[in-house]
Structure 1
Amino acid sequence: MVRIGYTMMTEQTGPSRLVRDVVHAEQVGYDFSVISDHYFPWLDSQGHASYAWAVLGAAAQATSRIPLMTYVTCPTFRYHPAVVAQKAATVQLLSEGRFRLGLGSGENLNEHITGQGWPGADVRQDRLAEAVGIIRALFGGGYVSHHGEHFEVASAKLWDLPPTPPPIGVAVSGDRSCELAGRLADLVIAVEPNADLLAAFDRYGGTGKPRVGQVPVCYDADRSQAVARAHDQFRWFGGGWKVNSELPGTAGFAGASAFVRPEDVAASLPCGDRVEDFVEAVRAYTGAGFDEVALIQVGGDHQAAFLDWSERTLLPALREL
Protein backbone atom coordinates (compact mmCIF):
# COMPACT_ATOMS: atom_id res chain seq x y z
CA MET A 1 0.00 0.00 0.00
CA VAL A 2 1.30 3.45 -0.91
CA ARG A 3 2.36 5.73 1.95
CA ILE A 4 0.92 9.25 1.69
CA GLY A 5 2.90 12.25 2.88
CA TYR A 6 2.19 15.88 3.67
CA THR A 7 4.44 18.73 2.49
CA MET A 8 5.44 21.65 4.69
CA MET A 9 6.06 24.11 1.89
CA THR A 10 8.21 26.89 3.32
CA GLU A 11 7.64 29.07 0.25
CA GLN A 12 3.94 29.61 0.99
CA THR A 13 3.56 29.51 4.78
CA GLY A 14 5.30 31.12 7.77
CA PRO A 15 7.23 28.99 10.26
CA SER A 16 4.75 28.85 13.16
CA ARG A 17 1.94 27.87 10.83
CA LEU A 18 4.11 25.19 9.21
CA VAL A 19 4.53 23.52 12.59
CA ARG A 20 0.82 23.74 13.39
CA ASP A 21 0.00 22.26 10.00
CA VAL A 22 2.30 19.25 10.36
CA VAL A 23 0.80 18.57 13.80
CA HIS A 24 -2.61 18.63 12.10
CA ALA A 25 -1.32 16.30 9.38
CA GLU A 26 -0.15 13.83 12.02
CA GLN A 27 -3.54 13.97 13.72
CA VAL A 28 -5.52 13.22 10.54
CA GLY A 29 -3.34 10.24 9.64
CA TYR A 30 -0.68 11.20 7.10
CA ASP A 31 2.07 8.57 6.96
CA PHE A 32 5.05 10.95 6.71
CA SER A 33 5.94 14.56 6.08
CA VAL A 34 8.51 16.43 4.01
CA ILE A 35 9.71 20.03 4.05
CA SER A 36 11.15 22.21 1.30
CA ASP A 37 14.45 23.95 2.08
CA HIS A 38 14.43 27.29 0.26
CA TYR A 39 15.92 30.76 0.62
CA PHE A 40 13.48 32.21 -1.93
CA PRO A 41 9.90 31.43 -2.96
CA TRP A 42 9.36 30.52 -6.60
CA LEU A 43 7.02 33.49 -7.13
CA ASP A 44 6.48 36.68 -5.15
CA SER A 45 2.84 35.73 -4.60
CA GLN A 46 3.90 32.78 -2.44
CA GLY A 47 5.51 35.22 -0.07
CA HIS A 48 7.59 33.12 2.37
CA ALA A 49 10.92 31.32 2.77
CA SER A 50 11.70 30.54 6.41
CA TYR A 51 14.63 28.45 7.62
CA ALA A 52 13.61 24.83 7.20
CA TRP A 53 15.95 23.44 9.84
CA ALA A 54 14.53 25.61 12.63
CA VAL A 55 11.05 24.49 11.58
CA LEU A 56 12.19 20.86 11.64
CA GLY A 57 13.46 21.24 15.21
CA ALA A 58 10.13 22.68 16.31
CA ALA A 59 8.17 20.05 14.37
CA ALA A 60 10.23 17.25 15.92
CA GLN A 61 9.17 18.44 19.37
CA ALA A 62 5.55 19.21 18.46
CA THR A 63 4.86 15.80 16.89
CA SER A 64 5.37 12.28 18.17
CA ARG A 65 4.68 9.87 15.30
CA ILE A 66 4.96 11.38 11.84
CA PRO A 67 8.34 10.97 10.09
CA LEU A 68 10.14 14.11 8.88
CA MET A 69 12.27 14.63 5.78
CA THR A 70 13.96 17.38 3.80
CA TYR A 71 12.68 17.58 0.23
CA VAL A 72 15.37 18.59 -0.53
CA THR A 73 18.47 20.17 0.96
CA CYS A 74 21.38 21.20 -1.23
CA PRO A 75 24.63 20.45 0.68
CA THR A 76 27.02 22.09 -1.76
CA PHE A 77 26.69 25.91 -1.93
CA ARG A 78 24.48 27.60 0.68
CA TYR A 79 25.41 24.90 3.22
CA HIS A 80 28.71 23.10 3.67
CA PRO A 81 28.21 19.31 3.88
CA ALA A 82 29.85 19.13 7.33
CA VAL A 83 27.21 21.56 8.61
CA VAL A 84 24.41 19.60 6.93
CA ALA A 85 25.63 16.48 8.73
CA GLN A 86 25.42 18.29 12.07
CA LYS A 87 21.91 19.60 11.32
CA ALA A 88 20.67 16.17 10.25
CA ALA A 89 22.14 14.37 13.26
CA THR A 90 20.51 16.92 15.58
CA VAL A 91 17.06 16.57 13.98
CA GLN A 92 17.38 12.79 14.11
CA LEU A 93 18.01 13.07 17.85
CA LEU A 94 15.17 15.55 18.43
CA SER A 95 12.73 13.40 16.46
CA GLU A 96 13.91 10.17 18.11
CA GLY A 97 14.78 8.50 14.83
CA ARG A 98 12.00 9.88 12.59
CA PHE A 99 14.17 11.90 10.19
CA ARG A 100 15.38 11.25 6.65
CA LEU A 101 17.88 13.52 4.93
CA GLY A 102 16.79 14.29 1.37
CA LEU A 103 19.57 15.83 -0.73
CA GLY A 104 19.79 17.31 -4.21
CA SER A 105 22.11 19.31 -6.43
CA GLY A 106 20.10 22.49 -5.83
CA GLU A 107 18.55 25.37 -7.73
CA ASN A 108 20.14 28.66 -8.67
CA LEU A 109 17.11 30.34 -7.04
CA ASN A 110 18.37 29.39 -3.57
CA GLU A 111 22.09 28.84 -3.93
CA HIS A 112 23.15 32.02 -5.76
CA ILE A 113 22.99 34.04 -2.53
CA THR A 114 26.50 33.04 -1.40
CA GLY A 115 28.03 34.45 -4.58
CA GLN A 116 29.85 31.29 -5.65
CA GLY A 117 28.39 31.23 -9.14
CA TRP A 118 26.26 28.49 -10.66
CA PRO A 119 28.27 25.87 -12.56
CA GLY A 120 26.94 23.34 -15.05
CA ALA A 121 24.92 20.30 -14.00
CA ASP A 122 27.89 17.94 -14.26
CA VAL A 123 29.88 19.99 -11.73
CA ARG A 124 26.87 20.27 -9.44
CA GLN A 125 26.45 16.49 -9.48
CA ASP A 126 30.15 15.98 -8.72
CA ARG A 127 29.87 18.34 -5.77
CA LEU A 128 26.81 16.46 -4.52
CA ALA A 129 28.58 13.09 -4.68
CA GLU A 130 31.52 14.47 -2.73
CA ALA A 131 29.18 16.04 -0.18
CA VAL A 132 27.33 12.76 0.43
CA GLY A 133 30.67 11.07 1.14
CA ILE A 134 31.56 13.72 3.73
CA ILE A 135 28.16 13.48 5.42
CA ARG A 136 28.33 9.68 5.63
CA ALA A 137 31.86 9.84 7.06
CA LEU A 138 30.70 12.21 9.80
CA PHE A 139 27.68 10.02 10.56
CA GLY A 140 30.19 7.22 11.14
CA GLY A 141 31.69 9.01 14.16
CA GLY A 142 35.21 10.12 14.94
CA TYR A 143 37.23 12.93 13.41
CA VAL A 144 36.97 13.53 9.68
CA SER A 145 39.40 15.43 7.49
CA HIS A 146 38.81 15.70 3.77
CA HIS A 147 40.77 17.36 0.99
CA GLY A 148 38.69 16.99 -2.15
CA GLU A 149 38.13 18.63 -5.48
CA HIS A 150 35.31 20.80 -4.16
CA PHE A 151 35.38 20.70 -0.34
CA GLU A 152 37.79 20.92 2.56
CA VAL A 153 37.04 19.48 5.98
CA ALA A 154 39.54 19.97 8.80
CA SER A 155 39.19 17.68 11.84
CA ALA A 156 35.40 17.77 12.02
CA LYS A 157 33.46 15.57 14.43
CA LEU A 158 29.79 15.26 15.36
CA TRP A 159 29.61 15.25 19.14
CA ASP A 160 25.90 14.42 19.30
CA LEU A 161 25.26 11.39 17.13
CA PRO A 162 21.95 9.50 17.01
CA PRO A 163 22.01 5.71 17.54
CA THR A 164 20.93 5.28 13.91
CA PRO A 165 22.05 7.86 11.33
CA PRO A 166 19.33 9.39 9.16
CA PRO A 167 18.82 7.55 5.86
CA ILE A 168 20.01 9.64 2.91
CA GLY A 169 17.83 10.23 -0.12
CA VAL A 170 18.99 11.77 -3.40
CA ALA A 171 16.74 13.62 -5.86
CA VAL A 172 16.92 12.51 -9.49
CA SER A 173 15.98 14.07 -12.81
CA GLY A 174 18.23 12.28 -15.32
CA ASP A 175 20.66 9.43 -15.84
CA ARG A 176 23.61 11.04 -14.07
CA SER A 177 21.65 11.76 -10.92
CA CYS A 178 20.13 8.25 -11.03
CA GLU A 179 23.63 6.77 -11.12
CA LEU A 180 24.63 8.87 -8.13
CA ALA A 181 21.47 7.95 -6.21
CA GLY A 182 21.72 4.25 -7.00
CA ARG A 183 25.32 4.17 -5.84
CA LEU A 184 25.20 6.46 -2.80
CA ALA A 185 21.64 6.85 -1.51
CA ASP A 186 19.34 4.84 0.75
CA LEU A 187 16.26 6.05 -1.14
CA VAL A 188 15.41 7.97 -4.29
CA ILE A 189 13.41 11.20 -4.62
CA ALA A 190 11.64 12.60 -7.69
CA VAL A 191 9.02 15.20 -8.60
CA GLU A 192 7.66 13.51 -11.72
CA PRO A 193 6.01 10.09 -12.16
CA ASN A 194 8.70 8.84 -14.51
CA ALA A 195 9.21 5.07 -14.47
CA ASP A 196 12.40 5.46 -16.52
CA LEU A 197 14.05 7.31 -13.64
CA LEU A 198 13.27 4.46 -11.26
CA ALA A 199 14.50 1.89 -13.79
CA ALA A 200 17.80 3.77 -14.03
CA PHE A 201 17.98 4.00 -10.23
CA ASP A 202 17.56 0.24 -10.02
CA ARG A 203 20.13 -0.33 -12.74
CA TYR A 204 22.73 1.58 -10.75
CA GLY A 205 22.11 -0.22 -7.47
CA GLY A 206 18.79 1.10 -6.16
CA THR A 207 16.75 -2.11 -6.34
CA GLY A 208 14.67 -2.61 -3.22
CA LYS A 209 15.24 0.90 -1.86
CA PRO A 210 12.32 3.26 -1.11
CA ARG A 211 11.21 5.67 -3.82
CA VAL A 212 9.49 8.90 -2.86
CA GLY A 213 7.54 11.17 -5.20
CA GLN A 214 5.74 14.46 -4.74
CA VAL A 215 2.66 15.93 -6.43
CA PRO A 216 1.02 19.36 -6.07
CA VAL A 217 -2.75 19.52 -5.55
CA CYS A 218 -5.17 22.38 -4.92
CA TYR A 219 -8.22 21.48 -2.86
CA ASP A 220 -11.11 23.92 -2.61
CA ALA A 221 -14.88 23.36 -2.53
CA ASP A 222 -15.02 26.09 -5.20
CA ARG A 223 -13.07 24.73 -8.17
CA SER A 224 -12.73 28.15 -9.79
CA GLN A 225 -11.02 29.44 -6.66
CA ALA A 226 -8.71 26.43 -6.65
CA VAL A 227 -7.73 26.99 -10.29
CA ALA A 228 -7.09 30.70 -9.70
CA ARG A 229 -4.94 29.99 -6.65
CA ALA A 230 -2.97 27.24 -8.38
CA HIS A 231 -2.29 29.55 -11.32
CA ASP A 232 -1.25 32.41 -9.06
CA GLN A 233 1.19 30.38 -6.96
CA PHE A 234 2.13 27.24 -8.90
CA ARG A 235 2.25 28.07 -12.60
CA TRP A 236 6.07 27.83 -12.44
CA PHE A 237 5.86 24.08 -11.79
CA GLY A 238 5.39 23.11 -15.43
CA GLY A 239 8.78 24.46 -16.51
CA GLY A 240 10.56 21.19 -15.82
CA TRP A 241 13.61 20.69 -13.68
CA LYS A 242 16.19 21.63 -16.30
CA VAL A 243 14.59 25.10 -16.41
CA ASN A 244 13.65 25.38 -12.74
CA SER A 245 17.16 24.67 -11.53
CA GLU A 246 18.70 27.46 -13.60
CA LEU A 247 16.55 30.58 -13.06
CA PRO A 248 18.06 32.92 -10.43
CA GLY A 249 15.04 34.68 -8.93
CA THR A 250 11.30 35.14 -8.68
CA ALA A 251 11.29 37.62 -11.58
CA GLY A 252 12.75 34.92 -13.81
CA PHE A 253 10.03 32.45 -12.85
CA ALA A 254 7.36 35.09 -13.35
CA GLY A 255 8.70 35.79 -16.83
CA ALA A 256 9.10 32.13 -17.75
CA SER A 257 5.49 31.41 -16.73
CA ALA A 258 3.92 34.63 -18.05
CA PHE A 259 2.00 32.84 -20.81
CA VAL A 260 0.85 29.87 -18.72
CA ARG A 261 -2.95 30.02 -18.55
CA PRO A 262 -5.15 28.97 -15.63
CA GLU A 263 -6.53 26.12 -17.75
CA ASP A 264 -2.97 24.91 -18.38
CA VAL A 265 -2.35 24.66 -14.64
CA ALA A 266 -5.72 22.99 -14.05
CA ALA A 267 -4.81 20.36 -16.64
CA SER A 268 -1.52 19.56 -14.88
CA LEU A 269 -2.63 19.28 -11.25
CA PRO A 270 -5.95 18.38 -9.58
CA CYS A 271 -8.02 21.41 -8.57
CA GLY A 272 -11.30 21.44 -6.66
CA ASP A 273 -12.84 18.70 -4.53
CA ARG A 274 -13.37 15.78 -6.91
CA VAL A 275 -11.53 13.07 -5.05
CA GLU A 276 -11.15 10.96 -8.21
CA ASP A 277 -8.87 13.63 -9.69
CA PHE A 278 -6.59 13.52 -6.66
CA VAL A 279 -6.50 9.73 -6.68
CA GLU A 280 -5.52 9.69 -10.37
CA ALA A 281 -2.68 12.13 -9.72
CA VAL A 282 -1.27 9.80 -7.06
CA ARG A 283 -1.98 6.73 -9.20
CA ALA A 284 0.40 8.11 -11.83
CA TYR A 285 3.18 7.76 -9.27
CA THR A 286 2.21 4.35 -7.94
CA GLY A 287 1.88 3.12 -11.51
CA ALA A 288 5.43 4.30 -12.20
CA GLY A 289 6.71 2.38 -9.20
CA PHE A 290 6.76 4.89 -6.34
CA ASP A 291 5.83 3.54 -2.91
CA GLU A 292 5.61 6.93 -1.15
CA VAL A 293 3.93 10.09 -2.46
CA ALA A 294 3.93 13.46 -0.67
CA LEU A 295 1.13 15.90 -1.46
CA ILE A 296 1.60 19.68 -1.69
CA GLN A 297 -1.61 21.59 -0.97
CA VAL A 298 -1.25 24.87 -2.87
CA GLY A 299 -2.02 27.94 -0.78
CA GLY A 300 -0.64 28.68 2.67
CA ASP A 301 -4.00 29.77 4.07
CA HIS A 302 -5.83 26.68 2.83
CA GLN A 303 -4.07 23.90 4.75
CA ALA A 304 -6.58 23.31 7.55
CA ALA A 305 -9.52 22.78 5.21
CA PHE A 306 -7.42 20.47 3.04
CA LEU A 307 -6.27 18.43 6.04
CA ASP A 308 -9.82 18.07 7.37
CA TRP A 309 -10.98 16.95 3.91
CA SER A 310 -8.03 14.57 3.78
CA GLU A 311 -9.20 12.85 6.95
CA ARG A 312 -12.81 12.55 5.81
CA THR A 313 -12.40 11.84 2.10
CA LEU A 314 -8.98 11.86 0.48
CA LEU A 315 -6.89 9.56 2.67
CA PRO A 316 -9.54 6.79 2.78
CA ALA A 317 -9.69 6.90 -1.05
CA LEU A 318 -5.91 6.84 -1.40
CA ARG A 319 -5.64 3.85 0.98
CA GLU A 320 -7.39 1.83 -1.71
CA LEU A 321 -4.30 2.26 -3.91
Structure 2
Amino acid sequence: MNEAFERAMAAFEPAHLPLAVGFSGGADSTALLAACASVWPGQVVAFHVHHGLQAAADDFERHCAEVCERLGVPLVVHRVDARHAPGDSPEDAARRARYQAFATMARAGAAGGAIQSVALGHHADDQVETLLLALSRGAGLPGLASMPACARRHGLDLYRPLLAVPGADIRAWLKDLDLPWIEDPTNENERYTRNRIRAVLLPALARTFPQFRTTFARSIGHAAQAQELLGELAAQDLAAVGDPPRTGALQALSRARQANVLRHWLMQAHGCAPSAAQLDQLLDQVRACTTRGHRIHLKVGNGFIERRGDFLHWYNYGPSPKASR
Protein backbone atom coordinates (compact mmCIF):
# COMPACT_ATOMS: atom_id res chain seq x y z
CA MET A 1 0.00 0.00 0.00
CA ASN A 2 1.26 3.49 -0.84
CA GLU A 3 0.18 5.80 1.97
CA ALA A 4 0.49 9.10 0.05
CA PHE A 5 -1.67 7.83 -2.78
CA GLU A 6 -4.21 6.22 -0.44
CA ARG A 7 -4.51 9.41 1.64
CA ALA A 8 -5.06 11.53 -1.45
CA MET A 9 -7.81 9.25 -2.74
CA ALA A 10 -9.47 9.02 0.69
CA ALA A 11 -9.71 12.83 0.76
CA PHE A 12 -11.17 13.09 -2.76
CA GLU A 13 -14.90 13.80 -2.72
CA PRO A 14 -16.33 15.03 -6.06
CA ALA A 15 -19.45 17.13 -5.68
CA HIS A 16 -21.32 15.17 -8.35
CA LEU A 17 -21.49 11.62 -9.62
CA PRO A 18 -21.12 10.05 -12.12
CA LEU A 19 -17.46 11.00 -12.40
CA ALA A 20 -15.30 11.10 -15.53
CA VAL A 21 -11.56 10.48 -15.41
CA GLY A 22 -9.34 11.98 -18.09
CA PHE A 23 -7.61 8.80 -19.29
CA SER A 24 -4.55 8.94 -21.54
CA GLY A 25 -3.36 5.43 -20.76
CA GLY A 26 -0.29 6.73 -18.90
CA ALA A 27 0.60 5.64 -15.38
CA ASP A 28 -0.97 8.59 -13.56
CA SER A 29 -4.37 8.48 -15.24
CA THR A 30 -4.42 4.68 -15.08
CA ALA A 31 -3.90 4.71 -11.31
CA LEU A 32 -6.52 7.43 -10.86
CA LEU A 33 -9.04 5.57 -13.00
CA ALA A 34 -8.48 2.28 -11.15
CA ALA A 35 -8.81 3.94 -7.75
CA CYS A 36 -11.96 5.87 -8.69
CA ALA A 37 -13.56 2.77 -10.22
CA SER A 38 -12.92 0.92 -6.97
CA VAL A 39 -14.43 3.67 -4.79
CA TRP A 40 -17.45 4.43 -7.01
CA PRO A 41 -18.19 1.23 -8.96
CA GLY A 42 -20.62 1.75 -11.83
CA GLN A 43 -20.39 5.55 -11.55
CA VAL A 44 -17.08 6.20 -13.31
CA VAL A 45 -16.40 6.69 -17.02
CA ALA A 46 -13.08 7.17 -18.81
CA PHE A 47 -12.66 10.12 -21.21
CA HIS A 48 -9.91 9.55 -23.77
CA VAL A 49 -8.89 12.34 -26.14
CA HIS A 50 -7.40 11.11 -29.43
CA HIS A 51 -5.16 14.04 -30.45
CA GLY A 52 -4.03 12.49 -33.70
CA LEU A 53 -0.60 14.04 -33.26
CA GLN A 54 1.38 10.78 -33.12
CA ALA A 55 1.49 7.65 -35.24
CA ALA A 56 0.87 5.66 -32.06
CA ALA A 57 -2.39 7.49 -31.22
CA ASP A 58 -4.54 4.58 -32.45
CA ASP A 59 -2.46 2.18 -30.34
CA PHE A 60 -3.04 4.41 -27.29
CA GLU A 61 -6.79 4.21 -27.87
CA ARG A 62 -6.70 0.42 -28.16
CA HIS A 63 -4.67 0.15 -24.96
CA CYS A 64 -7.17 2.37 -23.12
CA ALA A 65 -10.04 0.19 -24.33
CA GLU A 66 -8.32 -2.95 -23.01
CA VAL A 67 -7.67 -1.39 -19.58
CA CYS A 68 -11.23 -0.09 -19.32
CA GLU A 69 -12.61 -3.50 -20.20
CA ARG A 70 -10.50 -5.05 -17.46
CA LEU A 71 -11.69 -2.45 -14.93
CA GLY A 72 -15.32 -2.63 -16.06
CA VAL A 73 -15.36 1.09 -16.88
CA PRO A 74 -17.06 2.60 -19.97
CA LEU A 75 -14.68 4.37 -22.34
CA VAL A 76 -15.65 7.46 -24.33
CA VAL A 77 -13.25 8.58 -27.07
CA HIS A 78 -13.25 11.97 -28.73
CA ARG A 79 -11.03 12.82 -31.67
CA VAL A 80 -9.69 16.36 -32.01
CA ASP A 81 -7.49 18.33 -34.35
CA ALA A 82 -4.87 19.55 -31.91
CA ARG A 83 -2.45 20.98 -34.45
CA HIS A 84 -1.12 24.36 -33.33
CA ALA A 85 -1.25 27.57 -35.31
CA PRO A 86 2.00 29.30 -36.34
CA GLY A 87 3.50 30.99 -33.30
CA ASP A 88 1.32 29.02 -30.90
CA SER A 89 2.68 26.54 -28.37
CA PRO A 90 1.95 22.92 -29.40
CA GLU A 91 1.49 22.01 -25.73
CA ASP A 92 -0.99 24.84 -25.17
CA ALA A 93 -2.92 23.96 -28.33
CA ALA A 94 -3.21 20.32 -27.26
CA ARG A 95 -4.28 21.33 -23.75
CA ARG A 96 -7.01 23.64 -25.03
CA ALA A 97 -8.28 20.95 -27.39
CA ARG A 98 -8.29 18.40 -24.56
CA TYR A 99 -10.38 20.52 -22.18
CA GLN A 100 -12.83 21.38 -24.93
CA ALA A 101 -13.11 17.67 -25.73
CA PHE A 102 -13.87 16.89 -22.08
CA ALA A 103 -16.72 19.41 -22.19
CA THR A 104 -18.07 17.90 -25.42
CA MET A 105 -18.00 14.37 -24.01
CA ALA A 106 -19.57 15.50 -20.74
CA ARG A 107 -22.50 17.14 -22.54
CA ALA A 108 -23.15 13.89 -24.41
CA GLY A 109 -23.65 12.09 -21.09
CA ALA A 110 -22.31 8.71 -20.03
CA ALA A 111 -22.45 6.21 -17.18
CA GLY A 112 -26.15 6.74 -16.73
CA GLY A 113 -26.25 10.53 -16.52
CA ALA A 114 -24.80 13.88 -17.51
CA ILE A 115 -21.21 14.42 -16.40
CA GLN A 116 -20.43 17.45 -14.24
CA SER A 117 -17.15 16.31 -12.65
CA VAL A 118 -13.86 15.31 -14.31
CA ALA A 119 -10.82 14.04 -12.40
CA LEU A 120 -7.33 14.54 -13.83
CA GLY A 121 -4.13 12.68 -12.94
CA HIS A 122 -1.76 15.64 -12.44
CA HIS A 123 0.57 14.94 -9.54
CA ALA A 124 3.21 16.65 -7.37
CA ASP A 125 5.95 16.49 -10.01
CA ASP A 126 3.63 18.04 -12.61
CA GLN A 127 2.86 20.82 -10.13
CA VAL A 128 6.55 21.57 -9.57
CA GLU A 129 7.18 21.59 -13.33
CA THR A 130 4.31 24.05 -13.76
CA LEU A 131 5.75 26.33 -11.06
CA LEU A 132 9.24 26.27 -12.58
CA LEU A 133 7.83 27.05 -16.02
CA ALA A 134 5.91 29.98 -14.53
CA LEU A 135 9.06 31.30 -12.81
CA SER A 136 11.05 30.99 -16.04
CA ARG A 137 8.46 33.17 -17.80
CA GLY A 138 8.33 35.82 -15.08
CA ALA A 139 4.72 34.95 -14.27
CA GLY A 140 2.60 36.77 -11.72
CA LEU A 141 0.51 35.24 -8.97
CA PRO A 142 -1.88 33.34 -11.29
CA GLY A 143 1.09 31.49 -12.79
CA LEU A 144 2.82 30.94 -9.45
CA ALA A 145 -0.40 29.48 -8.05
CA SER A 146 0.10 26.72 -10.65
CA MET A 147 -2.66 24.14 -11.01
CA PRO A 148 -5.62 24.32 -8.62
CA ALA A 149 -6.86 21.18 -6.91
CA CYS A 150 -10.36 22.11 -8.05
CA ALA A 151 -11.43 24.50 -10.79
CA ARG A 152 -14.40 25.31 -12.99
CA ARG A 153 -13.86 25.20 -16.76
CA HIS A 154 -16.24 24.85 -19.71
CA GLY A 155 -19.07 24.23 -17.24
CA LEU A 156 -17.25 21.32 -15.58
CA ASP A 157 -15.80 20.82 -12.12
CA LEU A 158 -12.19 19.73 -12.69
CA TYR A 159 -10.46 17.87 -9.87
CA ARG A 160 -6.78 17.08 -9.41
CA PRO A 161 -6.75 14.84 -6.33
CA LEU A 162 -3.11 13.69 -6.72
CA LEU A 163 -1.30 17.05 -6.58
CA ALA A 164 0.37 16.12 -3.28
CA VAL A 165 1.49 12.67 -4.51
CA PRO A 166 4.91 12.23 -6.19
CA GLY A 167 4.84 10.48 -9.54
CA ALA A 168 7.05 7.67 -8.24
CA ASP A 169 4.50 6.90 -5.50
CA ILE A 170 1.72 6.65 -8.06
CA ARG A 171 3.70 4.18 -10.15
CA ALA A 172 4.53 2.14 -7.07
CA TRP A 173 0.83 1.90 -6.19
CA LEU A 174 -0.03 0.94 -9.76
CA LYS A 175 2.59 -1.83 -9.91
CA ASP A 176 0.90 -3.53 -6.97
CA LEU A 177 -2.25 -3.85 -9.11
CA ASP A 178 -0.32 -5.34 -12.02
CA LEU A 179 -2.10 -2.92 -14.37
CA PRO A 180 -0.24 -1.97 -17.57
CA TRP A 181 0.29 1.59 -18.72
CA ILE A 182 1.84 3.25 -21.76
CA GLU A 183 4.79 5.62 -21.91
CA ASP A 184 4.23 8.57 -24.21
CA PRO A 185 7.38 8.80 -26.38
CA THR A 186 7.10 12.59 -26.50
CA ASN A 187 7.90 12.66 -22.76
CA GLU A 188 11.50 11.81 -23.69
CA ASN A 189 11.78 14.62 -26.23
CA GLU A 190 13.87 17.34 -24.59
CA ARG A 191 12.80 19.80 -27.27
CA TYR A 192 9.96 20.50 -24.84
CA THR A 193 10.92 22.64 -21.85
CA ARG A 194 8.76 20.64 -19.45
CA ASN A 195 10.63 17.46 -20.38
CA ARG A 196 14.01 19.13 -19.74
CA ILE A 197 12.76 20.24 -16.33
CA ARG A 198 11.70 16.66 -15.57
CA ALA A 199 14.97 15.12 -16.75
CA VAL A 200 17.45 17.68 -15.40
CA LEU A 201 16.01 20.01 -12.77
CA LEU A 202 13.85 17.67 -10.69
CA PRO A 203 16.71 15.21 -9.97
CA ALA A 204 18.97 18.18 -9.06
CA LEU A 205 16.31 19.59 -6.75
CA ALA A 206 15.85 16.20 -5.10
CA ARG A 207 19.60 16.05 -4.35
CA THR A 208 19.78 19.62 -3.06
CA PHE A 209 16.37 20.06 -1.38
CA PRO A 210 14.93 16.59 -0.64
CA GLN A 211 11.63 18.08 0.59
CA PHE A 212 11.19 20.40 -2.38
CA ARG A 213 7.79 18.99 -3.38
CA THR A 214 6.36 19.79 0.05
CA THR A 215 7.92 23.24 0.38
CA PHE A 216 7.07 24.22 -3.20
CA ALA A 217 3.48 23.10 -2.60
CA ARG A 218 3.37 25.39 0.44
CA SER A 219 4.53 28.36 -1.65
CA ILE A 220 2.00 27.48 -4.35
CA GLY A 221 -0.71 27.48 -1.70
CA HIS A 222 0.34 30.93 -0.47
CA ALA A 223 0.29 32.27 -4.04
CA ALA A 224 -3.14 30.76 -4.67
CA GLN A 225 -4.53 32.30 -1.49
CA ALA A 226 -3.11 35.72 -2.39
CA GLN A 227 -4.55 35.43 -5.90
CA GLU A 228 -7.95 34.57 -4.46
CA LEU A 229 -7.86 37.77 -2.39
CA LEU A 230 -6.85 39.81 -5.46
CA GLY A 231 -9.75 38.26 -7.35
CA GLU A 232 -12.20 39.31 -4.65
CA LEU A 233 -10.79 42.86 -4.66
CA ALA A 234 -10.95 42.98 -8.47
CA ALA A 235 -14.61 41.94 -8.43
CA GLN A 236 -15.41 44.73 -5.97
CA ASP A 237 -13.46 47.29 -8.01
CA LEU A 238 -15.10 46.16 -11.27
CA ALA A 239 -18.52 46.74 -9.71
CA ALA A 240 -17.38 50.30 -8.95
CA VAL A 241 -15.70 51.15 -12.28
CA GLY A 242 -18.31 49.40 -14.43
CA ASP A 243 -18.30 46.83 -17.19
CA PRO A 244 -17.04 48.12 -19.58
CA PRO A 245 -14.76 50.16 -17.29
CA ARG A 246 -14.94 53.96 -17.13
CA THR A 247 -11.57 55.66 -17.44
CA GLY A 248 -12.49 58.32 -14.90
CA ALA A 249 -13.41 55.72 -12.30
CA LEU A 250 -10.22 53.77 -13.03
CA GLN A 251 -8.11 56.86 -12.40
CA ALA A 252 -9.47 57.03 -8.85
CA LEU A 253 -7.70 53.74 -8.09
CA SER A 254 -4.00 53.15 -7.51
CA ARG A 255 -2.03 51.85 -10.48
CA ALA A 256 -1.77 48.41 -8.87
CA ARG A 257 -5.55 48.21 -8.41
CA GLN A 258 -6.11 49.44 -11.97
CA ALA A 259 -3.89 46.62 -13.23
CA ASN A 260 -5.69 44.09 -11.06
CA VAL A 261 -9.20 45.09 -12.11
CA LEU A 262 -8.32 45.40 -15.81
CA ARG A 263 -6.74 41.92 -15.82
CA HIS A 264 -9.86 40.61 -14.10
CA TRP A 265 -12.21 42.32 -16.55
CA LEU A 266 -10.33 41.14 -19.62
CA MET A 267 -10.19 37.54 -18.42
CA GLN A 268 -13.72 37.28 -17.02
CA ALA A 269 -15.53 39.16 -19.79
CA HIS A 270 -13.38 38.24 -22.79
CA GLY A 271 -11.07 35.33 -21.89
CA CYS A 272 -8.12 37.59 -22.69
CA ALA A 273 -4.82 37.62 -20.76
CA PRO A 274 -2.72 40.74 -21.50
CA SER A 275 1.05 40.57 -21.43
CA ALA A 276 2.89 42.63 -18.82
CA ALA A 277 4.04 45.07 -21.52
CA GLN A 278 0.51 45.45 -22.93
CA LEU A 279 -0.96 46.07 -19.49
CA ASP A 280 1.72 48.67 -18.63
CA GLN A 281 1.00 50.50 -21.89
CA LEU A 282 -2.73 50.43 -21.19
CA LEU A 283 -2.21 51.82 -17.68
CA ASP A 284 -0.06 54.65 -19.10
CA GLN A 285 -2.85 55.49 -21.55
CA VAL A 286 -5.52 55.44 -18.83
CA ARG A 287 -3.42 57.85 -16.77
CA ALA A 288 -3.05 60.13 -19.82
CA CYS A 289 -6.83 60.36 -20.33
CA THR A 290 -7.17 63.95 -19.11
CA THR A 291 -9.27 65.17 -22.05
CA ARG A 292 -12.32 63.70 -23.80
CA GLY A 293 -10.41 63.67 -27.06
CA HIS A 294 -7.60 61.41 -25.86
CA ARG A 295 -7.64 58.32 -28.08
CA ILE A 296 -6.78 54.78 -26.98
CA HIS A 297 -6.30 51.99 -29.51
CA LEU A 298 -4.02 49.26 -28.16
CA LYS A 299 -3.36 45.64 -29.02
CA VAL A 300 -4.21 43.53 -25.98
CA GLY A 301 -4.13 39.73 -26.15
CA ASN A 302 -5.70 38.62 -29.42
CA GLY A 303 -7.72 41.81 -29.84
CA PHE A 304 -7.76 45.56 -29.25
CA ILE A 305 -8.84 47.97 -26.53
CA GLU A 306 -10.36 51.26 -27.61
CA ARG A 307 -11.59 54.26 -25.68
CA ARG A 308 -15.11 55.31 -26.67
CA GLY A 309 -16.36 58.24 -24.70
CA ASP A 310 -15.39 57.53 -21.11
CA PHE A 311 -15.42 53.75 -21.55
CA LEU A 312 -12.87 51.11 -22.52
CA HIS A 313 -14.05 48.47 -25.00
CA TRP A 314 -12.29 45.32 -26.13
CA TYR A 315 -12.92 43.54 -29.42
CA ASN A 316 -11.49 40.59 -31.35
CA TYR A 317 -9.55 40.70 -34.56
CA GLY A 318 -11.81 40.58 -37.57
CA PRO A 319 -12.94 42.40 -40.69
CA SER A 320 -15.82 44.07 -38.84
CA PRO A 321 -14.69 44.74 -35.26
CA LYS A 322 -17.57 45.18 -32.89
CA ALA A 323 -17.31 46.81 -29.50
CA SER A 324 -17.99 44.66 -26.51
CA ARG A 325 -21.16 45.48 -24.66
Normalising by structure 2, what TM-score? 0.30
Q: Which one scores higher on RCO, CA 8 angstroms, separation ≥ 6?
A: 1
Q: Larger Cα Rg: Structure 1 or Structure 2?
A: 2
